[in-house]
Amino acid sequence: MSGDQRAEEAIEIGKRIREFRVKKNMSQAALAEKANVSLSQISDIERGKTSMRLTTFIGIVEALQVSADVLLRTDIPEVNTLYKSEFAEVLADCTPSEIDSILKIVKEVKRSMHNPKQESYY
pLDDT tens over the chain, length 122 residues: 566 777 888 898 999 999 999 999 999 999 999 999 999 999 999 999 988 899 999 999 999 998 888 888 766 666 667 778 888 888 999 999 999 999 899 888 888 877 766 544 44
Does this model's pTM top 0.75? no
- Position 113 scores a pLDDT of 75
Q: How far apart are CA 119 and CA 117, in angstroms?
A: 7
State the pLDDT at residue 62.
95
